[in-house]
Structure 1
Amino acid sequence: MILNNCVAFIMFRAFLILGGICTIYGAGNGYYGNEGYSLFAFSDIPPPDDLEDIALFKPTHASEPFNEGLTKENAVNGIFNDNMYESKLELMHPWWMVDLMEVRTIHQVQIFTRQGCCSHRLHDLEIRIGQGLVLTGDLSSYTLMSTYKGPYDVSQGHVICSNLRGIAGRFLAIKKVSSDVDHLQLVEVRVYVAKKN
Protein backbone atom coordinates (compact mmCIF):
# COMPACT_ATOMS: atom_id res chain seq x y z
CA MET A 1 0.00 0.00 0.00
CA ILE A 2 1.42 3.40 -0.96
CA LEU A 3 0.79 6.65 0.82
CA ASN A 4 0.85 9.25 -1.92
CA ASN A 5 -0.65 12.37 -0.38
CA CYS A 6 1.12 15.08 1.54
CA VAL A 7 0.17 15.86 5.10
CA ALA A 8 1.25 18.63 7.43
CA PHE A 9 2.99 18.02 10.73
CA ILE A 10 4.29 20.29 13.45
CA MET A 11 7.09 17.84 14.15
CA PHE A 12 8.61 14.72 12.59
CA ARG A 13 6.64 11.74 13.89
CA ALA A 14 7.01 7.99 13.82
CA PHE A 15 3.72 7.43 12.04
CA LEU A 16 1.42 9.02 9.49
CA ILE A 17 -2.37 8.94 9.58
CA LEU A 18 -4.40 10.00 6.56
CA GLY A 19 -7.89 9.07 5.50
CA GLY A 20 -8.14 6.10 7.86
CA ILE A 21 -4.75 4.70 6.85
CA CYS A 22 -1.93 4.47 9.36
CA THR A 23 1.58 3.63 8.19
CA ILE A 24 4.44 3.08 10.57
CA TYR A 25 8.12 3.52 9.75
CA GLY A 26 10.13 0.34 9.54
CA ALA A 27 8.94 -3.25 9.82
CA GLY A 28 5.57 -3.96 11.38
CA ASN A 29 1.88 -3.70 10.76
CA GLY A 30 -0.57 -0.95 10.00
CA TYR A 31 -4.30 -0.68 10.32
CA TYR A 32 -7.11 0.53 8.13
CA GLY A 33 -10.75 1.31 8.65
CA ASN A 34 -12.95 3.97 10.15
CA GLU A 35 -14.97 1.37 12.05
CA GLY A 36 -12.68 -0.97 13.91
CA TYR A 37 -9.13 -1.88 13.05
CA SER A 38 -7.96 -4.59 10.68
CA LEU A 39 -4.26 -5.36 10.65
CA PHE A 40 -2.27 -5.87 7.49
CA ALA A 41 1.39 -6.13 6.53
CA PHE A 42 2.88 -3.37 4.41
CA SER A 43 6.10 -2.58 2.59
CA ASP A 44 8.88 -1.32 4.83
CA ILE A 45 10.28 2.15 4.40
CA PRO A 46 13.49 3.26 6.08
CA PRO A 47 12.92 4.59 9.60
CA PRO A 48 13.76 8.31 10.10
CA ASP A 49 17.26 7.60 11.44
CA ASP A 50 18.12 5.77 8.20
CA LEU A 51 17.10 8.70 5.96
CA GLU A 52 19.17 11.71 4.95
CA ASP A 53 18.39 14.98 3.19
CA ILE A 54 20.41 15.27 0.00
CA ALA A 55 18.95 18.48 -1.45
CA LEU A 56 21.02 20.98 0.53
CA PHE A 57 23.03 23.27 -1.78
CA LYS A 58 22.21 21.22 -4.88
CA PRO A 59 21.58 22.99 -8.24
CA THR A 60 18.05 24.28 -8.77
CA HIS A 61 15.77 25.43 -11.59
CA ALA A 62 12.47 27.28 -11.38
CA SER A 63 9.92 29.62 -12.89
CA GLU A 64 10.92 33.27 -12.98
CA PRO A 65 11.36 34.66 -9.44
CA PHE A 66 9.43 37.54 -7.91
CA ASN A 67 12.65 39.57 -7.68
CA GLU A 68 16.42 39.08 -7.75
CA GLY A 69 16.55 38.32 -4.01
CA LEU A 70 13.92 35.55 -3.95
CA THR A 71 15.70 33.10 -6.20
CA LYS A 72 15.50 29.34 -6.70
CA GLU A 73 18.61 28.38 -4.74
CA ASN A 74 17.17 29.91 -1.55
CA ALA A 75 14.95 26.83 -1.12
CA VAL A 76 17.97 24.57 -0.50
CA ASN A 77 20.31 26.89 1.42
CA GLY A 78 19.44 25.69 4.93
CA ILE A 79 18.17 29.10 6.07
CA PHE A 80 14.70 29.18 7.61
CA ASN A 81 13.43 32.73 7.27
CA ASP A 82 11.94 34.85 4.50
CA ASN A 83 15.08 34.21 2.42
CA MET A 84 13.08 31.95 0.11
CA TYR A 85 12.17 31.20 -3.47
CA GLU A 86 9.07 33.08 -4.59
CA SER A 87 7.63 32.92 -8.08
CA LYS A 88 6.84 35.94 -10.22
CA LEU A 89 3.57 37.82 -9.73
CA GLU A 90 0.59 36.63 -11.83
CA LEU A 91 2.41 33.54 -13.08
CA MET A 92 0.21 30.54 -13.91
CA HIS A 93 1.44 27.13 -12.69
CA PRO A 94 4.83 28.13 -11.21
CA TRP A 95 7.30 25.34 -10.56
CA TRP A 96 10.60 24.69 -8.77
CA MET A 97 13.10 21.85 -9.18
CA VAL A 98 16.25 20.51 -7.52
CA ASP A 99 18.89 18.44 -9.31
CA LEU A 100 20.13 15.75 -6.89
CA MET A 101 23.12 15.12 -9.19
CA GLU A 102 22.51 11.36 -9.18
CA VAL A 103 19.60 8.96 -9.34
CA ARG A 104 18.35 8.07 -5.85
CA THR A 105 15.21 6.47 -4.47
CA ILE A 106 13.24 9.24 -2.80
CA HIS A 107 11.05 8.28 0.16
CA GLN A 108 10.05 11.63 1.57
CA VAL A 109 9.94 15.35 0.80
CA GLN A 110 9.50 18.05 3.44
CA ILE A 111 8.28 21.48 2.36
CA PHE A 112 8.67 24.59 4.51
CA THR A 113 6.84 27.73 3.47
CA ARG A 114 6.54 31.32 4.63
CA GLN A 115 5.24 31.71 8.20
CA GLY A 116 4.89 35.45 8.79
CA CYS A 117 2.64 36.24 5.84
CA CYS A 118 0.66 34.70 3.02
CA SER A 119 1.15 31.04 4.00
CA HIS A 120 -2.29 30.28 2.48
CA ARG A 121 -0.62 30.55 -0.95
CA LEU A 122 0.73 27.02 -0.51
CA HIS A 123 -1.93 24.78 -2.02
CA ASP A 124 -2.67 22.50 -4.98
CA LEU A 125 0.85 21.14 -5.36
CA GLU A 126 2.16 18.21 -7.33
CA ILE A 127 5.48 16.68 -6.28
CA ARG A 128 7.06 14.83 -9.19
CA ILE A 129 10.28 12.91 -9.75
CA GLY A 130 12.10 12.57 -13.07
CA GLN A 131 15.25 11.22 -14.68
CA GLY A 132 15.99 14.01 -17.18
CA LEU A 133 16.05 17.79 -16.95
CA VAL A 134 12.84 19.52 -18.11
CA LEU A 135 12.81 23.33 -18.12
CA THR A 136 9.53 24.02 -19.93
CA GLY A 137 7.31 23.61 -16.87
CA ASP A 138 5.56 20.63 -18.47
CA LEU A 139 6.41 17.97 -15.90
CA SER A 140 3.93 15.36 -17.13
CA SER A 141 6.79 13.02 -18.04
CA TYR A 142 7.87 12.90 -14.40
CA THR A 143 6.41 10.34 -11.99
CA LEU A 144 3.84 11.78 -9.61
CA MET A 145 5.04 11.13 -6.06
CA SER A 146 2.50 13.10 -4.04
CA THR A 147 -0.09 15.83 -4.07
CA TYR A 148 -0.92 18.48 -1.48
CA LYS A 149 -4.35 20.10 -1.67
CA GLY A 150 -4.04 22.63 1.15
CA PRO A 151 -4.51 25.43 1.77
CA TYR A 152 -1.66 25.55 4.24
CA ASP A 153 -1.96 27.16 7.66
CA VAL A 154 0.96 28.00 9.96
CA SER A 155 -0.56 25.87 12.72
CA GLN A 156 0.24 22.81 10.57
CA GLY A 157 4.00 23.17 10.89
CA HIS A 158 5.53 21.87 7.67
CA VAL A 159 4.29 19.65 4.88
CA ILE A 160 5.54 16.06 4.61
CA CYS A 161 5.07 14.06 1.41
CA SER A 162 5.92 10.36 1.65
CA ASN A 163 5.96 7.34 -0.61
CA LEU A 164 6.35 3.97 1.08
CA ARG A 165 8.26 2.20 -1.66
CA GLY A 166 10.13 5.26 -2.86
CA ILE A 167 10.53 6.57 -6.39
CA ALA A 168 13.87 6.63 -8.19
CA GLY A 169 14.95 9.81 -9.93
CA ARG A 170 17.48 12.60 -10.19
CA PHE A 171 15.14 15.61 -10.34
CA LEU A 172 12.54 16.52 -7.71
CA ALA A 173 9.97 19.08 -8.84
CA ILE A 174 7.18 20.98 -7.08
CA LYS A 175 4.48 22.61 -9.20
CA LYS A 176 1.31 24.54 -8.46
CA VAL A 177 -1.53 23.16 -10.54
CA SER A 178 -4.43 25.38 -9.43
CA SER A 179 -6.18 27.83 -11.75
CA ASP A 180 -5.26 30.89 -9.67
CA VAL A 181 -2.01 32.86 -9.85
CA ASP A 182 -0.90 32.68 -6.21
CA HIS A 183 2.86 32.78 -5.76
CA LEU A 184 4.79 29.59 -5.11
CA GLN A 185 6.75 30.33 -1.92
CA LEU A 186 9.34 27.79 -0.73
CA VAL A 187 11.49 28.61 2.29
CA GLU A 188 13.19 25.21 2.32
CA VAL A 189 12.76 21.85 0.62
CA ARG A 190 14.29 18.68 2.02
CA VAL A 191 14.53 15.49 -0.03
CA TYR A 192 15.05 12.29 1.97
CA VAL A 193 16.62 9.11 0.70
CA ALA A 194 18.03 6.04 2.44
CA LYS A 195 21.57 6.57 3.70
CA LYS A 196 24.26 4.77 1.78
CA ASN A 197 26.02 2.01 3.69
Structure 2
Amino acid sequence: MLHEGCEIEDGYRRPGNDLINGNNNIKNSAEECCEDCRNTDRCVAWTLTPKNRCWLKHTIGEKRAQSGYKTGTITPTQPPPPTEAPPPPPKTEPPPTEAPPPPPKTEPPPTEAPPQPPPKTESPAVATMIPTLPPCEFPSGLHNVAQGRPTAQSSDKSKKDSGSENAVDGDFNTDANSGSCSWTNKEYQPWWTVDLGETYDIYEVVITNRQDCCPFRLKNAEIRVGDSETFEDNPPCGMMILGRMVKENPVHVRCGCETPMRGRYVSIQLIDRTQMLTLCEVEVMVT
Protein backbone atom coordinates (compact mmCIF):
# COMPACT_ATOMS: atom_id res chain seq x y z
CA MET A 1 0.00 0.00 0.00
CA LEU A 2 1.37 3.46 -0.93
CA HIS A 3 0.77 6.39 1.42
CA GLU A 4 1.96 9.87 0.44
CA GLY A 5 5.76 9.65 0.55
CA CYS A 6 5.73 6.19 2.22
CA GLU A 7 5.40 2.53 1.20
CA ILE A 8 3.42 0.48 3.79
CA GLU A 9 3.75 -3.33 4.02
CA ASP A 10 1.37 -5.35 6.22
CA GLY A 11 2.65 -8.44 8.09
CA TYR A 12 6.33 -7.47 8.20
CA ARG A 13 8.79 -5.85 10.63
CA ARG A 14 12.38 -4.58 10.55
CA PRO A 15 14.31 -5.42 13.74
CA GLY A 16 17.21 -3.29 14.99
CA ASN A 17 18.62 0.05 13.68
CA ASP A 18 16.38 1.97 16.11
CA LEU A 19 16.38 5.79 15.89
CA ILE A 20 13.30 6.40 18.12
CA ASN A 21 12.24 3.88 20.82
CA GLY A 22 8.66 2.79 20.13
CA ASN A 23 7.80 2.23 23.80
CA ASN A 24 7.28 5.98 24.19
CA ASN A 25 6.02 6.66 20.64
CA ILE A 26 2.39 5.51 20.30
CA LYS A 27 0.67 6.02 16.94
CA ASN A 28 -2.91 5.01 16.06
CA SER A 29 -2.21 3.93 12.47
CA ALA A 30 0.54 3.05 10.03
CA GLU A 31 -0.11 6.36 8.26
CA GLU A 32 0.60 8.30 11.49
CA CYS A 33 3.79 6.27 12.08
CA CYS A 34 4.88 6.95 8.49
CA GLU A 35 4.18 10.69 8.83
CA ASP A 36 6.21 10.73 12.08
CA CYS A 37 9.16 9.16 10.24
CA ARG A 38 8.89 11.69 7.38
CA ASN A 39 9.08 14.56 9.88
CA THR A 40 12.04 13.06 11.83
CA ASP A 41 15.62 13.81 10.78
CA ARG A 42 17.59 10.72 9.56
CA CYS A 43 14.49 8.47 9.64
CA VAL A 44 14.32 6.22 6.55
CA ALA A 45 12.10 3.34 7.76
CA TRP A 46 9.64 2.44 10.54
CA THR A 47 7.80 -0.48 12.16
CA LEU A 48 4.38 -0.36 13.90
CA THR A 49 3.71 -3.17 16.44
CA PRO A 50 0.27 -4.66 17.21
CA LYS A 51 0.29 -2.48 20.38
CA ASN A 52 0.65 0.69 18.21
CA ARG A 53 4.29 1.27 19.19
CA CYS A 54 6.00 3.20 16.39
CA TRP A 55 9.73 2.35 16.08
CA LEU A 56 11.66 4.75 13.80
CA LYS A 57 14.79 3.41 12.00
CA HIS A 58 17.93 5.20 10.82
CA THR A 59 18.75 2.37 8.36
CA ILE A 60 16.56 0.21 6.10
CA GLY A 61 17.39 -3.16 7.66
CA GLU A 62 16.36 -6.75 6.96
CA LYS A 63 12.60 -7.25 6.54
CA ARG A 64 11.01 -10.21 8.39
CA ALA A 65 7.50 -11.64 8.24
CA GLN A 66 5.59 -11.08 11.52
CA SER A 67 1.82 -11.27 11.91
CA GLY A 68 0.17 -8.07 13.14
CA TYR A 69 3.17 -5.83 12.38
CA LYS A 70 3.39 -3.13 9.70
CA THR A 71 6.50 -1.59 8.26
CA GLY A 72 7.49 0.86 5.59
CA THR A 73 10.20 2.95 4.04
CA ILE A 74 10.22 6.64 3.20
CA THR A 75 9.99 7.52 -0.50
CA PRO A 76 12.31 10.49 -1.08
CA THR A 77 10.82 13.51 -2.82
CA GLN A 78 12.49 14.64 -6.02
CA PRO A 79 14.21 18.07 -5.76
CA PRO A 80 13.27 20.73 -8.35
CA PRO A 81 15.57 20.93 -11.38
CA PRO A 82 18.45 23.34 -10.86
CA THR A 83 18.24 26.75 -12.52
CA GLU A 84 21.14 27.76 -14.67
CA ALA A 85 23.17 30.51 -13.10
CA PRO A 86 24.19 33.52 -15.26
CA PRO A 87 27.81 33.44 -16.47
CA PRO A 88 30.26 35.23 -14.17
CA PRO A 89 31.75 38.52 -15.33
CA PRO A 90 35.17 38.27 -16.98
CA LYS A 91 38.07 38.50 -14.60
CA THR A 92 40.55 41.32 -15.00
CA GLU A 93 44.07 40.43 -14.05
CA PRO A 94 45.88 43.08 -11.95
CA PRO A 95 49.25 44.20 -13.35
CA PRO A 96 52.10 42.11 -12.02
CA THR A 97 54.07 43.62 -9.19
CA GLU A 98 57.68 42.79 -8.59
CA ALA A 99 58.12 40.82 -5.39
CA PRO A 100 60.71 42.15 -2.95
CA PRO A 101 63.82 39.99 -2.59
CA PRO A 102 63.65 37.49 0.28
CA PRO A 103 65.65 38.31 3.39
CA PRO A 104 68.94 36.44 3.76
CA LYS A 105 68.69 33.22 5.71
CA THR A 106 70.55 32.96 8.97
CA GLU A 107 71.42 29.52 10.20
CA PRO A 108 70.69 28.95 13.91
CA PRO A 109 73.61 27.67 15.97
CA PRO A 110 73.63 23.87 16.31
CA THR A 111 72.14 22.53 19.50
CA GLU A 112 73.03 19.26 21.10
CA ALA A 113 70.21 16.68 20.78
CA PRO A 114 68.83 15.39 24.10
CA PRO A 115 69.68 11.76 24.96
CA GLN A 116 67.20 9.16 23.74
CA PRO A 117 65.11 7.45 26.45
CA PRO A 118 65.81 3.74 26.99
CA PRO A 119 63.56 1.33 25.05
CA LYS A 120 60.44 0.14 26.83
CA THR A 121 60.49 -3.45 27.97
CA GLU A 122 56.82 -3.63 28.96
CA SER A 123 54.85 -6.15 26.88
CA PRO A 124 52.03 -4.61 24.82
CA ALA A 125 48.47 -5.48 25.82
CA VAL A 126 46.92 -8.22 23.72
CA ALA A 127 43.44 -7.38 22.44
CA THR A 128 40.75 -10.03 22.33
CA MET A 129 40.22 -10.94 18.69
CA ILE A 130 36.74 -11.92 17.58
CA PRO A 131 36.93 -14.27 14.57
CA THR A 132 35.03 -13.16 11.49
CA LEU A 133 33.06 -15.61 9.41
CA PRO A 134 32.59 -15.61 5.62
CA PRO A 135 29.17 -14.56 4.29
CA CYS A 136 26.49 -17.20 4.73
CA GLU A 137 23.78 -17.84 2.11
CA PHE A 138 20.70 -19.20 3.89
CA PRO A 139 17.92 -20.92 1.90
CA SER A 140 14.83 -18.84 1.23
CA GLY A 141 11.72 -19.20 3.36
CA LEU A 142 13.31 -19.34 6.83
CA HIS A 143 10.73 -18.77 9.59
CA ASN A 144 10.61 -18.71 13.40
CA VAL A 145 9.19 -21.81 15.19
CA ALA A 146 9.95 -20.81 18.80
CA GLN A 147 7.10 -18.36 19.38
CA GLY A 148 4.59 -19.67 21.91
CA ARG A 149 6.48 -22.93 22.57
CA PRO A 150 7.09 -24.34 26.13
CA THR A 151 10.14 -22.83 27.89
CA ALA A 152 12.08 -23.12 31.15
CA GLN A 153 14.96 -21.28 32.86
CA SER A 154 17.24 -21.75 35.85
CA SER A 155 15.36 -19.18 38.01
CA ASP A 156 12.88 -16.27 37.82
CA LYS A 157 14.06 -12.86 39.05
CA SER A 158 12.05 -11.98 42.15
CA LYS A 159 9.52 -9.10 42.12
CA LYS A 160 9.67 -8.91 38.30
CA ASP A 161 7.52 -10.18 35.44
CA SER A 162 10.47 -12.32 34.37
CA GLY A 163 9.11 -15.73 33.27
CA SER A 164 10.93 -17.77 30.65
CA GLU A 165 7.87 -17.60 28.34
CA ASN A 166 8.45 -13.84 27.84
CA ALA A 167 11.32 -14.67 25.47
CA VAL A 168 8.94 -16.29 22.95
CA ASP A 169 5.84 -14.06 23.29
CA GLY A 170 6.36 -12.22 19.98
CA ASP A 171 6.97 -8.89 21.77
CA PHE A 172 10.32 -7.37 20.74
CA ASN A 173 10.30 -4.65 23.42
CA THR A 174 13.92 -4.25 24.63
CA ASP A 175 13.05 -2.72 28.04
CA ALA A 176 13.47 -5.57 30.53
CA ASN A 177 11.27 -3.76 33.06
CA SER A 178 8.29 -3.77 30.68
CA GLY A 179 7.48 -7.45 31.31
CA SER A 180 8.40 -8.56 27.78
CA CYS A 181 11.76 -10.24 28.61
CA SER A 182 12.81 -13.38 30.49
CA TRP A 183 15.12 -12.63 33.44
CA THR A 184 16.98 -14.92 35.88
CA ASN A 185 18.53 -14.16 39.24
CA LYS A 186 22.26 -13.41 39.40
CA GLU A 187 23.75 -16.91 39.61
CA TYR A 188 26.52 -19.10 38.25
CA GLN A 189 25.93 -20.19 34.63
CA PRO A 190 22.20 -19.31 34.35
CA TRP A 191 20.33 -21.00 31.49
CA TRP A 192 17.15 -20.83 29.37
CA THR A 193 15.65 -23.49 27.06
CA VAL A 194 12.74 -23.98 24.63
CA ASP A 195 11.04 -27.18 23.40
CA LEU A 196 10.12 -26.83 19.71
CA GLY A 197 7.83 -29.89 19.86
CA GLU A 198 9.57 -31.74 17.02
CA THR A 199 12.97 -31.95 15.32
CA TYR A 200 13.79 -29.23 12.78
CA ASP A 201 16.66 -28.27 10.49
CA ILE A 202 17.90 -25.16 12.35
CA TYR A 203 20.00 -22.60 10.45
CA GLU A 204 20.11 -19.64 12.83
CA VAL A 205 19.15 -18.44 16.33
CA VAL A 206 18.35 -14.71 16.68
CA ILE A 207 18.43 -13.08 20.15
CA THR A 208 16.89 -9.67 20.87
CA ASN A 209 19.05 -8.36 23.72
CA ARG A 210 17.88 -5.80 26.31
CA GLN A 211 18.78 -2.19 25.45
CA ASP A 212 17.54 -0.23 28.49
CA CYS A 213 20.60 -1.41 30.44
CA CYS A 214 23.53 -3.78 30.57
CA PRO A 215 23.64 -5.51 27.14
CA PHE A 216 27.11 -6.79 28.16
CA ARG A 217 25.44 -9.35 30.43
CA LEU A 218 24.90 -11.55 27.35
CA LYS A 219 28.70 -12.06 27.04
CA ASN A 220 29.80 -15.75 27.09
CA ALA A 221 26.32 -16.95 26.05
CA GLU A 222 26.48 -20.39 24.42
CA ILE A 223 23.66 -21.85 22.32
CA ARG A 224 23.09 -25.61 22.06
CA VAL A 225 20.79 -27.53 19.69
CA GLY A 226 19.79 -31.19 19.81
CA ASP A 227 17.19 -33.83 20.71
CA SER A 228 18.22 -34.35 24.34
CA GLU A 229 16.07 -32.77 27.10
CA THR A 230 19.36 -32.48 29.06
CA PHE A 231 20.68 -29.52 27.09
CA GLU A 232 24.30 -30.04 28.24
CA ASP A 233 24.31 -33.23 26.12
CA ASN A 234 23.49 -31.33 22.91
CA PRO A 235 26.24 -29.90 20.64
CA PRO A 236 26.94 -26.13 20.48
CA CYS A 237 25.40 -24.01 17.72
CA GLY A 238 27.88 -21.58 16.15
CA MET A 239 30.25 -19.36 18.16
CA MET A 240 29.92 -18.23 21.76
CA ILE A 241 28.67 -14.62 22.01
CA LEU A 242 31.80 -12.53 22.75
CA GLY A 243 33.18 -8.98 22.51
CA ARG A 244 31.41 -6.63 20.13
CA MET A 245 28.65 -9.14 19.41
CA VAL A 246 26.82 -8.11 22.62
CA LYS A 247 26.42 -4.56 21.19
CA GLU A 248 24.54 -5.87 18.14
CA ASN A 249 20.77 -5.96 18.30
CA PRO A 250 19.49 -8.42 17.42
CA VAL A 251 22.38 -10.88 17.84
CA HIS A 252 22.54 -13.47 15.02
CA VAL A 253 24.15 -16.86 15.75
CA ARG A 254 24.21 -19.16 12.77
CA CYS A 255 24.15 -22.91 13.32
CA GLY A 256 24.94 -23.81 9.73
CA CYS A 257 24.75 -22.49 6.18
CA GLU A 258 24.43 -25.28 3.61
CA THR A 259 24.36 -27.89 6.42
CA PRO A 260 21.99 -26.94 9.29
CA MET A 261 21.84 -28.47 12.78
CA ARG A 262 18.95 -30.78 13.61
CA GLY A 263 17.24 -30.62 16.97
CA ARG A 264 14.09 -30.21 19.05
CA TYR A 265 15.58 -28.39 22.06
CA VAL A 266 17.41 -25.04 21.92
CA SER A 267 19.21 -23.72 25.01
CA ILE A 268 21.13 -20.54 25.92
CA GLN A 269 23.57 -20.53 28.87
CA LEU A 270 26.19 -18.10 30.22
CA ILE A 271 29.44 -20.08 30.49
CA ASP A 272 31.83 -19.58 33.46
CA ARG A 273 30.03 -16.42 34.62
CA THR A 274 27.99 -15.40 37.67
CA GLN A 275 25.44 -13.06 36.12
CA MET A 276 21.76 -12.53 35.23
CA LEU A 277 20.50 -13.89 31.90
CA THR A 278 17.95 -11.61 30.20
CA LEU A 279 16.37 -12.45 26.82
CA CYS A 280 13.79 -10.08 25.29
CA GLU A 281 13.01 -12.42 22.35
CA VAL A 282 14.49 -15.64 20.93
CA GLU A 283 13.79 -16.73 17.34
CA VAL A 284 14.75 -20.16 15.99
CA MET A 285 14.94 -19.96 12.18
CA VAL A 286 14.16 -23.15 10.23
CA THR A 287 13.13 -24.12 6.72
**Deviation of residue 178 (structure 1)?**
2.9
In structure 1, C-alpha distance between the alignment counterparts of 2:161 and 2:167, rounded to whole Å:
12
1:22 correspondence with 2:116: no
Name the one with the larger helix percent.
2
Question: Aligned to 1:74, what secondary structure does the other structure show?
Answer: helix
- The CA deviation at 1:153 is 5.0
Q: 1:121 to 1:20 in 2, by over 3 A?
A: closer
Asked whether 1:65 is paired with 2:138, we answer no
1:189 and 1:133 mapped to 2: Cα distance?
18
In 1, the alpha carbon distance for the partners of 2:271 and 2:244 equals 13
Structure 1, residues 41-77: CA drift from partner, whole Å, max 9, x if none? xxxx313xx1010000000011111125101000000
Query: For 1:21 and 1:77, how far apart are their aligned partners in 2?
Result: 31
* Greater Rg over alpha carbons, structure: 2
Q: Between the two structures, name the one with larger relative contact order (CA 8 Å, sep ≥ 6).
A: 1
Measure the CA separation in 2 of the matches of 1:117 and 1:20. Answer: 27
Q: Which amino acid aligns with 1:184?
A: L
- Paired with 1:88 and 1:20, the residues of 2 have a C-alpha distance of 32
Match of 2:191 in 1: 95
Matched AA of 1:86: W
Letter of the 1:57 counterpart: G
**What residue in structure 2 maps to residue 183 of structure 1?**
276
* 2:145 paired residue among 50, 54, 57: 54
How many aligned residue pairs are there? 154
Match of 1:117 among 182, 207, 213: 213
Name the residue aligned to 1:174: 268
Instruction: Give 2:242's match in structure 1, choosing from 128, 149, 167.
Output: 149
Note if 1:126 corresponds to 2:222: yes
SS of 1:144 mapped into structure 2: coil
* 1:151 CA drift (Å): 5.7
Residues 73 and 153 of structure 1: is their aligned pair in 2 closer, same or farther, counting only changes over 3 Å? same
- Higher relative strand content: 1
Per-residue CA deviations over 1:79-113 (Å, capped at 9, x if unaligned) read: 12232111112x10000001000000100000011
Which sections of structure 1, spanning at least 5 residues, go unmatched? 1-8, 26-44
Partner SS, residue 120 of structure 1: helix
- Specify whether residues 20 and 126 from structure 1 end up closer, same or farther in structure 2 by C-alpha distance, changes over 3 A only: closer
Contact 1:93 1:177 in 2 (8 A): yes
TM-score, with length taken from structure 2: 0.50
User: Percent identity of the aligned residues?
Assistant: 29
The secondary structure found in structure 2 opposite 1:69 is coil
Report the residue type matching 2:282 in the other structure.
V
